[in-house]
Amino acid sequence: MGEYALRPLEAGTWDGFAGLAERHNGVFGGCWCTWFQTLSAEKERTCEANRSLKRRLVDEGRAHAALVFDQDEVVAWCEYGSPEELPNIYHRKQYEDELDVVPDYRITCIFVDKRYRRRGLSAVALRGTLDLIAAAGGGIVEGYPHDADGKKKSVLYNGTRTLFERAGFEFVRSKGMGNCVMRRTVS
CATH code where residue 150 lies: 3.40.630.30
Q: Give CA torsion, residues 130, 135, 139, 140, to 10 deg.
A: -10
Domain count across the chain: 1
Distance CA 42, CA 51 (A): 15
List pLDDT tens digits, range 19-66: 999 999 998 889 999 989 876 555 667 899 999 999 999 999 999 999
> Half-sphere exposure of 79 toward its Cβ, with a 13 Å CA cutoff?
27
List pLDDT tens digits, range 119-157: 999 999 999 999 999 999 999 999 999 987 766 665 667
Q: pTM of the full predicted structure?
A: 0.93
Mean pLDDT calculated for residue range 89-109: 95
Which residue segment(s) compose the domain that 173 sits in?
A: 4-186
